[in-house]
Amino acid sequence: MIATDRYMLRPMSEADIPQVADIEAESFPTTWPRTAYRRELQNKLARYLVLVDRAHPPVAAKPRPRRSFFGLGIGRRAAEEAPAPADYIVGYVGLWFMVDEAHIVAIAVREAYRGQGLGELLLSKAMELALENAQDVVTLEVRRSNYVAQKLYEKYRFLKVGVRRRYYSDNHEDAIIMSTPPIQAESFREFLDYLREAYQVRDPGTRNREEETA
């Protein structure tokens, strides 16, 4: 796994959904309802990870209404429960495991944090999860116009294997289907190890914007 002193990857929790939804809104023209993320967290075939900036102060979440002893608080004011401050999330990645294929559903980074190689950090962890779960290949869809993301995926040996015509509902843009070669092959594992080592020795703050997902 790629690791840095500043950034930490961990499983996504329900408390993370508001921040993940904000990142999604910055990154994609169309978004999921928050209830979809709650369902995904219960999906045994899905894995969602968030990237935390440990140098950023914790985020003060909004107080949540709490039911009173009498149920819905009818006739009296319901107390408010103040949640503990939350980690500051700067990116996330989601995968589905489908028999022998790991499909990357989404990968996104906060706009203010792009250009620092954090998209690559998330992609590398997604590849690691696919290996750990005995998947044979990793697949994804990317907009035809998103050359920045395509370049990152090609760095990890994703190949263009097909097209979904008019796939995106906002502008009917085509989606390029990309897939890796067999990731369990020893040669591919060695290649991933090489990329991890190369990432570790470089300063994330000086990484080129072309290596960041949009």
Domain layout of the chain by residue ranges = 7-57+87-203
Say what the pLDDT of residue 72 is: 54
Per annotation, catalytic residue among 7, 37, 113, 153: 153
Other CB atoms within 10 A of residue 189 CB: 13
Say what the pLDDT of residue 113 is: 96
Say what the pLDDT of residue 63 is: 63
Task: Indicate the average pLDDT of the chain.
Answer: 87
Per annotation, catalytic residue among 26, 101, 128, 141: 141
Q: Does 8 score more than 50 pLDDT?
A: yes
Per-residue pLDDT of 177-210, as tens digits, reads 999 999 999 999 999 999 999 998 875 543 433 3
Ranking 86-100, 131-145, 192-206 by mean pLDDT, the lowest is 192-206
**CATH superfamily membership of 7-57+87-203:** Gcn5-related N-acetyltransferase (GNAT) (3.40.630.30)
Greatest extent of the chain over all pairs of C-alpha atoms, in Å: 68
d(Cα 39, Cα 122) in Å, to the nearest integer? 22
Check if 153 is active-site: yes
C-alpha count within 13 angstroms, C-beta hemisphere, residue 87:
23
Say what the pLDDT of residue 210 is: 34
pLDDT range class, residue 66, cuts 50, 70, 90: low
Residues 6+ apart with CB under 8 A from 45: 96, 97, 98
Say what the pLDDT of residue 205 is: 46
Mean pLDDT to the nearest integer, 71-92? 69
pLDDT range class, residue 85, cuts 50, 70, 90: confident
Say what the pLDDT of residue 5 is: 83
Say what the pLDDT of residue 201 is: 82
Check if 141 is active-site: yes
Distances (CA, A) of 126 to 38, 45, 176: 20, 14, 19
* Prediction pTM value: 0.83
Q: Does 68 score more than 60 pLDDT?
A: no
Whether the CB-CB separation of 95 and 103 falls below 8 Å is answered with: yes
d(Cα 111, Cα 41) in Å, to the nearest integer? 24
pLDDT range class, residue 212, cuts 50, 70, 90: very low
Per-residue pLDDT of 20-50, as tens digits, reads 999 999 999 989 999 999 999 999 999 999 9
Q: What is the dihedral of CA 184, 186, 191, 196, to 10 degrees?
A: 70
d(Cα 95, Cα 139) in Å, to the nearest integer? 10
Residues 6+ apart with CB under 8 A from 123: 93, 104, 107, 152, 153, 156, 213
Distances (CA, A) of 203 to 6, 20, 90, 98, 129: 12, 26, 18, 35, 24
Mean pLDDT to the nearest integer, 95-105? 96
d(Cα 68, Cα 53) in Å, to the nearest integer? 36
